[in-house]
Structure 1
Amino acid sequence: MSSAPAGTAAGMPLGSAPAPLLRRILQQGRYETVTMLRNGEQLILAVILPLLALVGLAATPLLDGLGSSRVNIAVPGILALCAMSTAFTGQGIATGFDRRYGVLRFLSTTPLGRTGLILGKVIAVLVVLLLQVLVVTAVALPLGWQPAPAGLLPGFALLVLGAAAFTALGLLVAGTVRPEATLAITNLLWILLGALGGIVIPAERLPALAQAVVHFLPSGALGQALRDAFLHGSSNTASVIVLLLWTATAGFAATRWFKWN
């Protein structure tokens, strides 16, 4: 049996340095992004269903009387739904099954490390979210979407904040329960929050009981904050505070209780 040459380990030079941390993180982010985009079920959840909801809301009178046009009211909620689909449901399910098959445990022991792994997932969420924004915009503009110019930059910043909150929540679920439970919880919450969480349908059109709580949910806070930004060019401070609290609380909980195996 032959052995590796002297001064080498497994055919690699001893003491060879790993790639720089930033390069490792970017490579992991690229891998996570490609994996998400190749997953047909995630694409349906992240792109197809939000687009169907957008067309449906623009074609029906459900949002009449809430603003200048149906599509202007619908688009902010659809963008918020995209953030929840990718950051919470998609990333939560992917992370849960990576944990089950030992991928997380393996990668956390490589030079990438746990921090690099998490940052790679964050990059993937942001890249996919950007693609979602471009697709939704390409469909919404011909339908007559006219966002307030002053609200564009704040709106997209809020979208990133909302993605951070939902990513933290997705990692919390994925890191604390079994993958099958993660699949059930994230899909169920996607349906409930999408329908009754104030993310697509404004609170004014929800049942009285839902109106009392949606503003304290990340879905309701993100949906309302985006509507205020894109419709009126204004900032909803209360919604921003709610999103920051959810991000900090879920992030701390995920860091504290996340199980890597």
Structure 2
Amino acid sequence: MSTSDTTATPTVSRAASARRRVLAQAGFEVGSLLRNGEQLLVSLVLPVMALVGLHATTSPSLGPGSRIDLAVPGVIALCVISSAFTAQAISTGFDRRYAVLRYLGVTPLGRGGLVAAKVLATLVVEAVQIAVISALGLLLGWRPQPSGIPYAVLFVLAGTWTFVALALLLAGTLRAEAVLAVANLVWVVLLALGGVIVPRTELPVGLSHLASVLPSAGLADGLRSALVEGRLNLPALGVVLAWGVLATALAARLFRFDD
């Protein structure tokens, strides 16, 4: 009588690839952003209300040209600022306070993967925002210049990078409560005086000069040039990129994972 020996082969689990780790974390970040009622209000409801309000009224002045054509790029810029800066600063600030960042930073995801996931999540949320605003704009009579759409995409990507870097700089250096207050205050100031909804050329002279060096006005000016005139606004792109480089360098140097 013969017996056959069976050798059990241990199952070796393989770690998920870096791409899958980033995508999984990005999915979690998207869910967190969309479940946050306050940030959903800032990210989507208020921009929709702003677009409808600008279309239904004649004040404030948006400059010469079709009012809805000038309003939609500004509202898209507001969407980018809301998601890339305000929402990310607040969520990151509280993740840092509750030690979520510290724990994620030592997992296989790593700090670089965490930042990549936040940027990817922001782009997903922005895609939803821009789709909603664009559809509403088209219903209200918006007619963008097709030749400028690639330039508009470039500005959205550059603006996302810049404002996420600014959000991480803020969230990584201040306490969560201060981040909440400052992020919302900056959002209001940029909305009113940063050349976002109202083009900087329509602001008083002093404010117009100040807004010209802000990333908010650079983003909004670039989107208006692209979608209204179909051209690439290089000075505006330079302003956005300069802020992106500066904010990235400062965030890399000053960001603290521990509160």
TM-score normalised per structure 2: 0.93
Residue of structure 1 equivalent to 2:239: 242
Work out whether residues 119 and 160 of structure 2, in 8 Å CA contact, stay in contact via their aligned partners in 1: no
Work out whether residues 63 and 73 of structure 1, in 8 Å CA contact, stay in contact via their aligned partners in 2: no
Does structure 1 residue 75 correspond to structure 2 residue 72?
A: yes
Counterparts of 1:110-149 in structure 2 under 5 Å?
Answer: 110-149=107-146
Residue of structure 1 equivalent to 2:168: 171
Task: Write the distance in 1 (CA, Å) between the matches of 2:243 and 2:47.
Answer: 23
Q: Which has the larger Rg? A: 2
3-state DSSP of counterpart to 2:59: helix
Residue of structure 2 equivalent to 1:96: 93
Task: Write the distance in 2 (CA, Å) between the matches of 1:14 and 1:107.
Answer: 26
Counterparts of 1:1-261 in structure 2 under 5 Å?
Answer: 16-62=13-59, 66-261=63-258
Task: Write the distance in 1 (CA, Å) between the matches of 2:179 and 2:14.
Answer: 37
Task: Write the distance in 1 (CA, Å) between the matches of 2:201 and 2:217.
Answer: 11
Task: Write the distance in 2 (CA, Å) between the matches of 1:148 and 1:62.
Answer: 24
RMSD: 1.4
Task: Write the distance in 2 (CA, Å) between the matches of 1:64 and 1:162.
Answer: 25
Task: Write the distance in 2 (CA, Å) between the matches of 1:132 and 1:67.
Answer: 26
Work out whether residues 63 and 70 of structure 1, in 8 Å CA contact, stay in contact via their aligned partners in 2: no
Aligned length: 249
Residue segments in structure 1 that go unaligned for 5+ positions in a row: 1-12
3-state DSSP of counterpart to 1:68: coil
Deviation for aligned residue 1:64: 5.0
Deviation for aligned residue 1:63: 5.3
Residue of structure 2 equivalent to 1:6: none
Which of structure 1's runs of 4+ aligned residues deviate more than 6 A?
none
Deviation for aligned residue 1:160: 1.4
Residue of structure 2 equivalent to 1:10: none
TM-score normalised per structure 1: 0.92
Task: Write the distance in 2 (CA, Å) between the matches of 1:65 and 1:55.
Answer: 14
1:220 counterpart letter in structure 2: A
1:7-28 alpha-carbon deviations (Å, 9 max, x no partner): xxxxxx8974321111000100
Change (3 A) 1:26 1:90: same
2:142 counterpart letter in structure 1: W
Work out whether residues 196 and 210 of structure 1, in 8 Å CA contact, stay in contact via their aligned partners in 2: yes
Deviation for aligned residue 1:159: 1.1
1:120-139 alpha-carbon deviations (Å, 9 max, x no partner): 10110000000001000111
Task: Write the distance in 1 (CA, Å) between the matches of 2:179 and 2:145.
Answer: 38
Change (3 A) 1:212 1:260: same
Work out whether residues 62 and 198 of structure 2, in 8 Å CA contact, stay in contact via their aligned partners in 1: no
| Residues 57-66 or 149-158, more deviating | 57-66
3-state DSSP of counterpart to 1:213: helix
